[in-house]
Structure 1
Amino acid sequence: MFSKNTKYNFKVKTVFLLMFLVCFQFSVIAQNPTWKPASFEVVNKYKTFKTTQYAHVFSGSKHNIVRLAPDLQGLTGVELPLDQYKKGSNAPLQLKFKENVQVLIGVFQEKENPEYLQFNNSAKAKLILENGITITGLPPVNVYAISYSKGTQTINPGKGLFAVLGVVKENQQLTFRNAELPDGKLWNPTFIIEGFSDEKPLFEIIGGENKPVVDEGMSGTGGIQGGFEGGRVVKVGDTYHMFPTERAGEKGVDYYYDRVKTKIGHWTSKDAIHWKRESTIYQASGTYAITEDDNPMNDRRAAIWSYMPVFNEKANKWYGYYLAYTVSKTIEPNHSFGRIWRCESTVEGIDGIGGPYKDMGIIMEPGLDSEPWEGRQGVASFFPYKVGDKYFGFYSGAYPFNSWADYPKKTGKGWSVALAESNSLEGPWSRIKDGSNPIKTMHPFFVENPIVSQLPNGLYIAFFDGGPDGWGHHLPNMMAYSLSKDGKNWSEARYLPIETKVDKWWDIMRTPLCLIPEGNDVYTIVYNAIDLKRRFHPTGMVKVKLNKEVMESRLKELK
């Protein structure tokens, strides 16, 4: 039983608790306002879009949303024809409203540029969000609200390009604030995102695991401090075989060393979800260089990365191609002067994939054949594939030199790929010297770790790391693919926003390890990604479905 004072204290505490909860709830609402959309009809033939991350904002363009204030999330915008609005030759937008509304207009903040609407705050237009949305390749955006009455209205606030980001109810309270979102010109060039552009997507993302499939603390991860990055997954019979780079590092040593002391592991799975570690294929020394240049005094196998298993039907055995680096402790990039090694399984046949493997020598390395764009990090990856009677191999470079006068320390930024050729998987491999390298058609300055396969109609497809939106880089932060009809000329990249169908457990998307056909046009992709709150970089899995109609139309489009 409560005493009188106890009951009083209980009532007082209850009142204060209720007041706190009400204030807390109000605070949450204030911090996360939800703007009520108003329905409308587009009178002329402009399309609409959902105002979300990745949405392509203008018809006939690749400009898309990469940041937006949460207030705008989920509203319905209108795709205006970019070039026509910039030139002032557009047919003015007409919208039909069932009630009085406020139209939210994005105005680009580039003064005295006639291509953009020059807009000043007025009684008719109310500034509600400063720096309220970021659109790739375009100036900072302020968002204004303009009131319109019920009925058919012409939305024509002035000459030049603007964005229609949504329509909300007239009685919606819109309070000004600065969302402090970055300048869209930091993202350059713009890029095509599957499912958000005007074109139909080649792949539909149909789902996958909402959490990592290999994560810290799981069986087999002991002794791996930093998780995984790169490598390849192949399927033999009903078993998946994964050969990731394990960022082993050492306990008690700074996380930076995870990228230096690495292992190549062999993992197996029956479903690409539950994995078992089978063995270590290779282990790096983790020894730092003693000179700044590419000197044989340095340990040239200090870090080992990017193991690519390929079955050679002629030799009836598995070959492995992998990357060995010299590692600098003080010079960016710390991974320097990459060399590509080839190894062979000592067990013949398709079931010999687990090895053991023996080294057969270096097939590509820095030398007189190198070009300045390969930079201090090149040769930075390698993947061979067959085209007709010959073989091509993607190789890469990073931290380029403008000229050889910059060697060995004065580097720029850029991650590029190129092609080598050979008459056999054994080599010799030669860099193609016809002026086509590096390949800029996929993306002008970031393509990393491409893995090539073929679609049912013969198209070659390369899946690769599309680059981080982090560490000072403003890149798509999605895995990407490029298509080729002849295995040499590659199309502009398309990017896969897999977080639209699986929970986004990562901050930075990294490398896809495979595109494995499962039947009925469904494919499995295993990938690496980074949660910045953690040292350990996990591995995930997603399923996609191929649209054969789009596949055939892409084949016709390619030269």
Structure 2
Amino acid sequence: MIQKSKHIYYLILVFLSFQLSAQNSAWQPASFEVVKSNYKTFKTTQYAHVFSGSKHNIVGFATELQGLTGVELPLDAYKKGTNAPLQLKFKEPVQVLIGIFQEKNNSDYRQLNNAKLVLENGVTITGLPPVNVYAISYPKGTQIINPEGKGLFAVLGVIKNNQPIVSRNAQLLDGKLWNMPYIIEGFSDEKPLFEIIGGENKAVIDEGMPGTEDIQGGFEGGRVVKVGETYHMFPTERAGEKGVPYYYDRVKTKIGHWTSKDAIHWKRESTIYQASGVYAVTEDDNPMNDRRSAIWSYMPVFNEKANKWYGYYLAYTVHKEIEPNHSFGRIWRCESTVDGINGIGGPYKDMGIIMEPGLDSQPWEGRQGVASFFPYKVGEKYFGFYSGAYPFASWADYPKKSGKGWFVALAESNSLEGPWKRLNKGLEPIKTIHPQFVENPIVSQLPNGLYIAIFDGGPEGWGHHLPNMIGYSLSKDGINWGEARYLPIETKVDKWWDIMRTPLCLIPEGNDVYTIVYNAIDLKRRFHPTGMVKVKLNKDVMESKLKELK
């Protein structure tokens, strides 16, 4: 009896081992040819572009599908039922893996009743319902792939007919949590403006490196500029205090000054500013509170007319209990006391507040606004991106009842010194870039004069389903900004992060190559490191963008 039990136990272990192996291994692909159509194919990988004429991309898929070849179907034609038949030619009997969107009573999507379900919730596609994957057998030869009914479906791969399959629920998320699809460079119908050409496969500033001894929580935001052959970085250091939990890292902050000759090996030079770390005593924007309790987002800008470096930075009131902790931001301007381009290291002296909550604020700026600032020149005028977050639906919700959203708008001035005036045309933020999340934009110009803003595209984490990539937007006049594109840098460098945060620069290096230094988060760690990547500009695409933009 004991021997028999052991034998049964052994068989169960073998069966479970087989199941685990099957569900963690990619299914064996079968080759095929697309017949009588110009449909493109794609590899089923992260960010794969699934439908032509759309922005929908894969952001999650079962491991069994890794590397299979799918077919880009024209989205609108299949939704409307006006598509030409899809014909595939097979050299052997196969199983075609069909993705069916789980939204019943919607004629836009195909439904299957007589097919083998192999992966429940097997794929996540931005902006679309959950996907169940079915396997349909076809014999050798040219076959029409047209499951019963009408509407949109996805062809996710073709596998050998004798492929062993273990059906399971992959438990991937509903793509509609990403409430809008977005354009990923290199994974859409259009040619990419930037090619990711490589970079460091690990953080360039990490915990334990020289200069990080008094920084508990790593880095977030700021700017990198290049003067001669030297990179100068002014990050927000999430300093915190030793022996105090991580929540304090984002309160007691510093603005540091770091230098490098290659954007890889960095040396800490000095502290530009130190926050007090003192919590507020009232819930509202009250002068009783310390309004410099947290300092963030230092942006150095060289003023050629004054022949000195200006710094623009953000000072917050910090409340310990009300979300967001960072509240009622104020933008300060400072000046280097050392003239000339080489005076970038300061020391700096404060010249006063240039933007703050006031009578010209709008409810969308929310409890956190003003939450960042970056000035740039257009002709003889200056414009500045300023931001808000945790918006109020109306002023009746002030000071505690805030919503979610991270927005930007423009201010204008005749000089870098100010005064700066909000451009509240329509009393709304700029939503042409992204309707919900644009954070810490930094503006420069491309060789043909196009303005480019590079920014934090928003996290996939903390309850948010955002692109989780560095974003950029283009403008012909510096005022009207186009839809964001996102840079999937992990396609060319090892992904050491879970959450991509803020890009600090887009520095031209010659030969159309640019350096991006960025902050990111590994959720297993308290310390937020800094990384670096190189991208190459496609000048032909740049010129086509100039013609497209109004």
Normalising TM by the smaller chain, what interval?
over 0.9
Q: Which residue of 1 aligns with 2:5?
A: none
CA distance in 2, matches of 1:80, 1:27: 32
Which residue of the other structure, out of 261, 286, 293, is the alignment partner of 1:295? 286
Q: Which amino acid aligns with 1:376?
A: R
CA contact (8 A) 1:193 1:496 kept: yes
Cα distance in 2 for partners of 1:299, 1:406 equals: 23
Corresponding residue for 2:333? 342
Normalised TM-score (structure 2): 0.96
The residue number in structure 1 matching 2:136 is: 146
1:205 is the counterpart of 2:183: no
After TM superposition, list the pairs within 5 Å mapping 1:245-260 onto structure 2: 245-260=236-251
Q: Decide whether the 8 Å contact of 2:235 with 2:298 is kept in 1.
A: yes
Partner residue, 1:59: 52
The residue aligned with 2:459 is 468
Scaled by the length of structure 1, the TM-score of the pair is 0.95
1:94 has 2:84 as partner = no
Q: Residues 101 and 153 of structure 2 are in contact (CA less than 8 Å); yes or no, is this contact kept in structure 1?
A: yes
Q: Does 1:38 align with 2:25?
A: no
Indicate the residue corresponding to 2:117 in structure 1: 127
Match of residue 85 from structure 1: 78
User: 5 Å matches for 1:437-516?
Assistant: 437-516=428-507
Q: Secondary structure at the match of 2:343?
A: helix
CA drift of 1:272 comes to 0.1
Q: Is the 8 A contact 2:517 2:531 kept in 1?
A: yes
Write the distance in 1 (CA, Å) between the matches of 2:20 and 2:461. 28
Per-residue CA deviation, residues 479-504 of structure 1 (Å, 9 max, x unaligned), is: 00000000000000000000000000
Q: Distance in 2 between matches of 1:184 and 1:350?
A: 49
Matching of residue 231 in structure 1 with residue 222 in structure 2: yes
The alignment of Structure 1 onto Structure 2 pairs a total of residues equal to: 537
Per-residue Cα deviation, 1:370-418 (whole angstroms, up to 9, x for no partner): 0000000000000000000000000000000010000000001000000
Identity value in percent? 86
Following the alignment from structure 1 to structure 2, what is the Cα–Cα distance between the partners of residues 387 and 259?
Answer: 34
Taking the aligned partners of 1:40 and 1:248, their CA distance within structure 2 comes to 56
* Deviation at residue 25 of structure 1 after TM alignment: 8.2
Shift of 1:466: 0.2
Structure 1 residue 115 and structure 2 residue 101: aligned?
no
| CA distance in structure 1 between the aligned counterparts of 2:380 and 2:237, rounded to whole angstroms | 35
Secondary structure of 1:250's aligned partner? coil
Q: Which residue of 2 aligns with 1:323?
A: 314
> Hey, what's the Cα distance between the residues in 2 that align with 1:529 and 1:140?
29
> Secondary structure in 2 aligned to 1:393?
strand
Kept in 2, the 8 Å contact 1:311–1:350? The answer is yes
Deviation at 1:188, TM superposition (A): 1.2
The residue identity in structure 2 corresponding to 1:64 is: N
Pick aligned residue for 2:206 from 171, 193, 215: 215
**What do the CA deviations read for 1:420-442 (whole angstroms, capped 9, x no partner)?**
00000000000012227400000
- Check if 1:264 corresponds to 2:259: no
Query: 67, 73, 77: which is aligned to 1:74?
Result: 67
Per the TM alignment, residue 27 of structure 1 is displaced from its structure 2 partner at its CA by 7.3
Shift of 1:280: 0.0
Give distance in 2, aligned partners of 1:75 and 1:335.
Answer: 46
Distance apart, 1:28 and its partner CA: 6.2
1:361 aligns with 2:373: no
Query: Structure 1: which 5+ runs fail to align?
Result: 1-18
2-side partners of 1:273 and 1:299: how far apart? 37
Residues 232-291 of structure 1, C-alpha deviations (whole Å, 9 max, x = no match) = 000000000000000000111110000000000000000000000000000000000000
Question: Are the equivalent residues in 2 in contact too, given 1:112–1:118 (CA < 8 A)?
Answer: no
Partners of 1:35 and 1:100 lie apart in 2 by 15
Q: 1:160 aligns with which of 147, 151, 156?
A: 151
Question: Which runs of 5 or more residues in structure 2 are unaligned?
Answer: 1-10
| Partner SS state of residue 231, structure 1 | strand
Partner of 2:4: none
Secondary structure of the 1:435 match is: helix
Contact 2:23 2:64 (C-alpha < 8 Å) held by counterparts: no
Question: Contact (CA 8 Å) 1:46, 1:79: kept in 2 or not?
Answer: yes
Contact 2:362 2:427 in 1 (8 A): no
Q: Judge conservation of contact 2:380–2:414 (CA < 8 Å) in 1.
A: yes
**Alignment root-mean-square deviation, CA:** 1.4
Residue type of the partner of 1:62? K
The Cα shift of 1:143 comes to 0.2
Q: Which residue matches 2:7?
A: none
